[in-house]
Amino acid sequence: MSIRLLIATHNRGKLREYQEMFADPAIELVTLDDVGIRDDLEETGATFAANARLKARGYARASGLLTLADDSGLEVDALGGEPGVRSKRYAGENKSDTERVIFLLEKLRAAPRGKRTARFQCAIAIAAPRGELWECAGVCEGEIAFAPRGSNGFGYDPIFYLPARGVMLAELSAAEKNQISHRARAAAHAKIILEGMRAVQK
């Protein structure tokens, strides 16, 4: 039996990542736009996990569908963990990815090599319309580079350096990124949860 799963996003790039990470014909992924939901729920949680829960529960109620929501972002040690849950709004509302990258690099201008450690965090919540909730998380460790490089990915990927590989996250292919990214690691756990649901339905 197949599962119709609402991915709580308008971001087509994020949808493509989930399609590649799940790669299961028995899991049909749809977006908020696909089901006619135009409004965004305000992310008022103090943590990634709290925001993921808020969105998963809210959109599951609104759509009547099993819903997966994630909240993810960048934590930079030299900035005390910023931008954190404000990663998308760090440079201000409605800024482009390029503007956010420039803003962050300016904040880190005085931080030398070796003092630019950072991590991407991802929290995933899966909510059923009746209220059941499942949660998982993933982390990807790296450093903030001095200048952007690479054209794959989105957000802060062009300045997120992976020391073990010697490349930016934005220089990896989608297949490579979906093996090591914070979202991929959280999604691997989410996929196990979904497969368990399918097994129960059979």
What pLDDT, in 10s, does the model give residues 7-47?
999 888 788 888 888 877 888 899 999 999 988 888 888 99
Total Cβ atoms within 10 A of residue 86 = 12
Catalytically active residues are 71
Check residue 1 and give its pLDDT: 61
> Which DSSP symbol is given to 202?
-
Give the residue among 161, 150, 152 at the shortest CA–CA distance from 76: 161
Give the residue among 145, 128, 174, 131 at the shortest CA–CA distance from 20: 174
Task: Specify whether the CB–CB gap between 160 and 170 falls below 8 A.
Answer: yes
Structural fold of domain 3-201: Maf protein (3.90.950)
Does the predicted model carry a pTM greater than 0.85?
yes
What pLDDT, in 10s, does the model give residues 42-80?
888 899 999 999 999 999 999 999 999 999 999 999 999
For the chain, what is the mean pLDDT?
Answer: 92
Give the helix/strand (H/E) hosting 182: helix 182-201
String of DSSP letters for 19-36: HHHH--TTEEEEETTTTT
